[in-house]
């Protein structure tokens, strides 16, 4: 899927498909690129998340931009989502370190163990959002949980995007474990540092994905199909 996405993204950025153009049909793209329809659909969803295309039911996929600026996850732009997460989840982790109950720690440890064993991305993403909800619950303030609930769909979409295109799962598991260990120790400083590091890595991976893909010089040939 990553190769298909890179090919289509490069074609859009080079102007092979101009703003306003309709992409070839799914059947035609599958035939031309010699790929399955599920793989193509994942790539098309990623293009839309990046803000390069819009899919219209019954009409097809249309190019709306020729450069990636700020991906959208559900109702929220990535930059807006990350800004709110920094202002909410970092202090929440600190409160959780001070207020967590044994039940909170058991729940988080159980979730983390399941996530570290999970190999299915869809199942892992679902548990990823549950993990962040569980940290908010450990802060013992229902408003924090409500805030995370509000952005839960966007978090899941972002998590899936980062895992499919950035290979974040194992790294994220390590970052989550550091958060849980800080909560177990009851260290407010370690908990806020661990959550800040986690969000820093999310931002870095996202930036790496949306950075312009033109890495070859014009003499090095075109993109591979």
pLDDT in tens, 132-146: 999 999 999 999 999
Greater confidence (221 vs 111) lies with: 111
Greater confidence (87 vs 208) lies with: 87
Residue 65 confidence class, pLDDT cut points 50, 70, 90: confident
Residue 35, pLDDT > 80, answer yes
Mean pLDDT over each residue of the chain, to the nearest integer? 89
Residue 1, pLDDT > 80, answer no
Least-confidence region, from 51-55, 101-105, 151-155, 216-220: 216-220
Query: Options 1.10.10.10, 3.40.50.1820, 3.60.15.10, 1.10.10.60; which CATH number does 2-69 get?
Result: 1.10.10.10
Residue 71, pLDDT > 50, answer yes
Average pLDDT over residues 144-158: 95
Asked if 2-69 and 73-210 have one fold, the answer is no
pLDDT at res. 224:
41
Residue 217 confidence class, pLDDT cut points 50, 70, 90: very low
Residue 221 confidence class, pLDDT cut points 50, 70, 90: very low
CA angle at 166 for the pair 163 and 167, rounded to the nearest 5°: 60
pLDDT at res. 219:
37
Q: What is the DSSP letter of 219?
A: G
Question: 216: number of CA atoms within 13 Å, CB side?
Answer: 11
Of 102, 157, 100, 105, residue with least CA distance to 128: 157
pLDDT at res. 216:
42
Greater confidence (105 vs 2) lies with: 105
- Characterize the bridge pairing of strands 76-77 and 53-56: unpaired
Average pLDDT over residues 92-113: 97
> What's phi and psi for 19, nearest 5 deg?
-60, 130
Average pLDDT over residues 65-91: 92
Least-confidence region, from 68-72, 75-79, 82-86, 92-96: 68-72
- Give the three-state DSSP class for 214: coil
Look up the CATH architecture of domain 73-210: Up-down Bundle (1.20)
On whether the CB atoms of residues 202 and 162 are closer than 8 A, the answer is yes
Domain ranges within the chain, ordered by starting residue: 2-69, 73-210
> What is the tens place of the pLDDT at every residue in 115-130?
999 988 889 999 999 9
């Amino acid at each position: 899927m990553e190769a298909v996405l890179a090919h289509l993204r490069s074609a859009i950025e080079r102007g092979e498909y101009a703003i306003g153009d309709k992409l070839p049909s799914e059947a035609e793209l599958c035939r031309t690129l010699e790929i399955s329809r599920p793989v193509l659909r994942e790539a098309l969803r990623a293009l839309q998340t990046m803000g390069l295309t819009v899919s219209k039911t019954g009409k097809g996929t249309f190019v709306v931009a020729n450069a990636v600026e700020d991906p959208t996850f559900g109702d929220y732009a990535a930059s807006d989502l990350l800004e709110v997460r920094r202002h909410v989840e970092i202090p929440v982790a600190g409160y959780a370190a001070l207020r967590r109950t044994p039940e909170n720690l058991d729940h988080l440890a159980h979730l983390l163990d399941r996530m570290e064993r999970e190999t299915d991305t869809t199942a892992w993403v679902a548990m990823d959002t549950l993990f962040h909800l569980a940290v908010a619950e450990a802060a013992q303030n229902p408003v924090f949980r409500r805030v995370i609930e509000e952005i839960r769909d966007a978090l899941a979409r972002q998590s899936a995007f980062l895992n499919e295109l950035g290979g974040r799962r194992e790294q994220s598991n390590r970052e989550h474990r550091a958060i849980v260990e800080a909560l177990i120790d009851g260290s407010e400083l370690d908990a806020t540092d661990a959550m800040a590091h986690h969000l820093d890595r999310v931002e870095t991976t996202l930036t790496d994905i949306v950075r312009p893909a033109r890495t070859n010089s014009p003499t090095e040939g075109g993109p591979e199909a």
